[in-house]
Amino acid sequence: MARSKVADCVMNRFGWNCMLAAWPDEWRRLNWDVTGGGAIELRPRCWPLRSVAVRLTRLATITLSRPAPPRVSPLTFRASNGIVVTICQVKGEQVATSGPVPATRIAWPYESTALRLAVEATTDAGPLVISDNLIDLPDDLRLDLEAAIVELADLLSVRHQCRRVVRSPIPCIAVSASEEGELTLIASAHGIRAPLRSRPRAVLLPEQWPDLALCSAVEDRADGVALLADALSEDGPVGQLHHFFRVFERAFRSGPGGCVDPLLAFLKTGPVDLGWTNGEVSDWFTRLRPEATHADRREIFTRSADAEPFLGRLEYAAYDVVLNKRVWRARDSERRDVVALAAGLDDDRETLRLQRPDTTVVMPWVDPFGLFAIDFNFDVKVGPPAVSAMPGYTSDSPGVYKTRVQIQNDFEGTGEKYYYEVTTHHLRSSGEKAVGVKGGPTKRPTPRKQRRKKRR
């Protein structure tokens, strides 16, 4: 539906209060307000102008840096999928230069100097579905909202010639309604179901493995070390993906098509059976690599969210090839036993299989959908009757969230899987560091019972 006129953005003493005031027969959005303590409060002060069963709102932040633009005005943006995204608040604006002639501005490409935007996207969610007293969110609608937010971030990056990072505040999603029956259902729910999707990762080299052993093991393959280091140093998943494929091509001295068979044979001879198949390795080189490298005749090309699920297995394979392939730059699969990697991601891409008791597990600070990293620079409060609580992920206390990784301890020989949950108490006022981190493994599928605690 065509928009009749631009949205009104009014600056008041509480911060930006942007309303989609001119959508005929549409709705008026929720509002982010800046409170005295610096938090952002989401209050359903403006309800739909027409009867809508349920509305789903995705909250996110966009950080612009390297270099940071001096300012971005709050605005509304209609994405290519029809979703409207609103910039609700801007933090880190620089004071404009006064005078009749604009002065030259010096911009420093530092990550610490950044412009941070609070954004939200909303759509109709259809009939409300509640099971076990939790609201079930439709994944397709949420993905549409997230795609619209990313599209706005891409546009701002190009407009200001800078880096953009999309993150999730806590909470990052809200459900609201206008009809009395739906409001009653929302009030009866304990919150929104949190899938708790994470990005399992571990430090692959044993901590006690001497550095000199690494130096002697790779003296004939400095090029492989360089390509692997390039992959680990990339900020984005697509860049990491690209360098991992270069590692394989360099190791086997082959193009993409020639790497499948020798790489698969090499991985299958490893000390741990991680379920490598021809279908998976072939998919890496025949679909994933071309979609991440080219964008010419294909309708589909790889973005960060598409590449992220593959990184854990690719990283393990790249480390194994660089360290344990006997003949470097040869199209064979012969293996040497230089070092046994400390952990590997199983073929479900969710279970981290530990080979040593002293393995370092990297706990991801990521939203419950496993998509965006957490942004601790914004506090969001959602007032009733809108619902944003996600039991098992957030709590009633501010600055508290949970993350979970599924682990299988192969060194114990039992094959039993655990959910390792960590609760993080974050010092929101600083936005700098987490304090009071605690957590422990819980057996699965028996009721979760904490076995041990750790603090740092």
- Is this structure's pTM higher than 0.85? no
* DSSP conformational letter for 171: S
Q: Range of 135's domain? A: 8-192
Indicate if 219 and 183 belong to the same structural domain.
Answer: no
β-strands 15-19, 8-12 pairing = antiparallel
Q: Does position 384 have pLDDT exceeding 80, yes or no? A: no
- Among 280, 313, 344, which residue terminates a domain? 344
How big is the chain, counted in residues? Answer: 456
**Does the residue 359 lie in any domain?**
no
Q: Name the amino acid, one letter, at 419.
A: Y
Omega before 48 cis (within 30°)? no
Same domain, 227 and 131: no
**CA separation for the pair 161, 155 (Å, rounded):** 10
Q: Residue 370 falls within a domain, yes or no? A: no
How many domains does one find in the chain? 2
Asked if 19 and 8 touch (Cβ cutoff 8 Å), the reply is: yes
Mean local confidence (pLDDT), 394-421: 81
Question: Buried b / exposed e across 224-252, counting CB within 10 Å, b at 16+?
Answer: bbebbebbeeeeebbbbbbbbbbbbbbbb
Q: What's the one-letter identity of residue 7?
A: A
Instruction: Indicate whether 299 belongs to any domain.
Output: yes
* Within a domain: 451: no
| Residue 212 pLDDT | 84
Whether 188 and 208 share a structural domain: no
Are 242 and 301 in the same domain? yes
CA angle in degrees (0–180, nearest 5) for 152-153-155: 65
Q: Do residue 51 and residue 110 come from a single domain? A: yes
Task: Report yes or no on 446 lying in a domain.
Answer: no
Structure tokens at 252: 């086997």
What is the DSSP code (8-state) at residue 148? H
Token representation of residue 86: 């609103």
Residue 302 within any structural domain of the chain: yes
Is the domain of 174 the same as that of 237? no
pLDDT band at 6 (very low <50, low <70, confident <90, very high): very low
What pLDDT shows up at residue 326? Answer: 97
Residues 128 and 247 in one domain: no
Residues 80 and 53 in one domain: yes
Residue 155 covered by a domain: yes
Domain termination residue (choose one: 148, 163, 192): 192
Final residue in a domain of this structure, among 324, 344, 364? 344
Instruction: Give the helix ranges, DSSP H, for 166-293.
Output: 180-188, 211-217, 222-233, 237-252, 256-268, 278-283, 289-293
Q: Are residues 324 and 214 in the same domain?
A: yes
pLDDT over threshold 90, residue 21? no
